[in-house]
Structure 1
Amino acid sequence: MKQEIHFVTGKGGVGKSILAAALALKLSQEGKKTLLVELGDQSFFKDFFSVPQVGFQPTSIRPNLSLALWTGEACLQEYARHFIKVESLAKLFFENAVMRAFINVAPALPELAILGKVTSGPRKHGPPLPFDCVVVDAFATGHFIALLEAPKGMAEAVQFGPMGEQSRSIDAHLRNPEICKYHVVTLPEELPLKEADELISRLKAEFSIAPELILNKMMETSVSEGELQAVQNEGGDLAKFAEYLESHIQRQKQMWSAAEKMGVHLTRVPLYFENQPWVLVEKVAGNLR
């Protein structure tokens, strides 16, 4: 079975990390050995799931589900150790002042290292990543585009040699819909939806990628519009709440209609009032395809 790679992104605050965890859980419950990857120096899931430690090496948190936290430098160091073989030489390589200066100033090198690690399985290059699925809780919208642009930019800057060759390979795999899937999370609100629309347009234009769009925290009610209007006619505090609820539902419908015009697969995730992390993630997972 080919390894699947799922990137989950969206504007900050829309719930992309919960969606990434829900997707990873769903895949793991289907019997697929799944790795949920966070990017950066700090782990959200460490406290959210009360995990004792989250680091570069995967930690099992549920059956078929592991968690890891990757930085660009850690990915680069692992890659160097894998090919240099001798630990002392690899350590010397990264402690060298010239090399460290290059790492710090080289454009997109950390992003390239991360994507090299993420795609190492399908490319069969670098340390093995023994998972059926890798779900990446990726950077927020703006930084996510910079992440995807890194391989192409490096390939154009270094056109010959191993770095240029590997950059082109990473870029090709990112654009392969049989390997990489993309999920853009947003809210049924004007600004997050506008940012999601801009991201989707860029993914289509620059990478020929058609992502899934997930509208998160959609308020659901069994009360009809007629019932809401009847309550409003009665006056009082309940009437004010009914007016707010009707207005919110109408705005959600408008946002859903606007999302439909983006021409990508749409998924609706309800707003859940749940304070138990795994219960919340399982409920969200139930809405994903």
Structure 2
Amino acid sequence: MQQEIHFVTGKGGVGKSVIAAALALKFSRQGKKVLLVELGDQSFLKDFFDLADVTFQPHEIKPNLSLALWTGESCLREYAQYLIKVESLAKLFFDNAVMKAFINIAPGLPELAMLGKITSGPRKYGPAMNFDCVVVDAFATGHFKALLAAPSGMAQAVQIGPMGEQSRSIIRVLQDQNISKYHIVSLPEELPLKESAELGEYLKKDFAVEPGLVLNKVLEVNVPLTSLQNAETLTNSDLGMFAQYIEQQLTRQKMMFDQAKRSFKDISKVPLFFETEPWKLVEKVVEKVP
């Protein structure tokens, strides 16, 4: 079975981590062995799910579902150890002051290391990645573009040698729609939708891939429009004002959805769930994610 990689991104605060967790849980329930990866120095899901710890090494949190946290440095360290083969030498390499300074200032190197790790399974390079599916809770939209741009920058800077070839092999995986899937999460609001559309155009232009849009926290009201309008006639009551607010929100959401359809072919809607228990919330979202 060909390993799939699902990237989940979106403007900060749109709920991309919950969507990523729901996607991962959905795939795991299909019998796939799934790795959910958070990128960065801190784990959101650790506190969200009240877990003891989230580390570089995957840890199973549900049947068929493991969770890991990857930073640029941790991915570089593993890569160096894989090449050098001797852990003590790899440690010496990274503890060297000159190398530390180089890693800190080298443009795009941490991002390249993370993408190298994420795509290592399909590329069959590096330590084994024994998962059918990798779901990446990626950076927010701006940083995500920088993440994806890192291999191209390195491939242009280093035309020959293993670094250049590894960068080009990463790009091939990122552009292969049979392997790499892109899910942009947005709220039905103007600013996050604008950022989502811009990222979608970037992915289509530079990677020739068609990302999907997940509209999160969509207000659903099972009340006929006529009933809302009748309630609005009670202008001096709380019920009348609330009905007016709901109709305005539904009208605004429809405008945003029509706007989204101009930029995305594949759009999924996830309702606004009034649920405070984390796993129950994720399980509800599972039914709505693509």
Report the TM-score, using the length of structure 2 for normalisation: 0.98
Matches within 5 A, 1:1-289: 1-235=1-235, 236-289=237-290
Count of equivalent residues: 289
SS at match of 1:234: coil
Q: What is the distance in 2 between the residues matched to 1:57 and 1:148?
A: 23
> Cα deviations across residues 29-80 of structure 1 (Å, max 9, x unaligned)?
0000000000011010111111101000001100000000000000000011
SS at match of 2:268: strand
1:263, distance to aligned residue in structure 2 (A): 3.5
Q: What is the distance in 1 between the residues matched to 2:264 and 2:74?
A: 38
Structure 1: segments with no counterpart, 5+ residues: none
* 1:257 partner letter: D
1:100, distance to aligned residue in structure 2 (A): 1.4
Spell out structure 1 runs of 4+ moving beyond 4 A. Answer: none
Q: What is the distance in 1 between the residues matched to 2:265 and 2:142?
A: 20
> Cα deviations across residues 64-107 of structure 1 (Å, max 9, x unaligned)?
00000000000000011112111121111111222112111111
Q: What is the distance in 2 between the residues matched to 1:100 and 1:74?
A: 13
Q: What is the distance in 2 between the residues matched to 1:39 and 1:19?
A: 15
Structure 2: segments with no counterpart, 5+ residues: none
* 2:54 partner letter: V
* 1:92 partner letter: L
1:188, distance to aligned residue in structure 2 (A): 0.6
* 1:249 partner letter: L
Q: What is the distance in 2 between the residues matched to 1:104 and 1:233?
A: 63
* 1:272 partner letter: F
| Overall identity of the aligned pairs, in % | 64
Q: What is the distance in 2 between the residues matched to 1:90 and 1:250?
A: 58
SS at match of 1:7: strand
**Mean Cα deviation higher: 64-73 or 257-266:** 257-266
Over the aligned positions, Cα root-mean-square deviation in angstroms equals: 0.7
1:163, distance to aligned residue in structure 2 (A): 0.4
Q: What is the distance in 1 between the residues matched to 2:99 and 2:234?
A: 73
Q: Is the 8 A contact 2:9 2:183 kept in 1?
A: yes
Q: What is the distance in 1 between the residues matched to 2:223 and 2:87?
A: 65
Q: What is the distance in 1 between the residues matched to 2:223 and 2:85?
A: 65
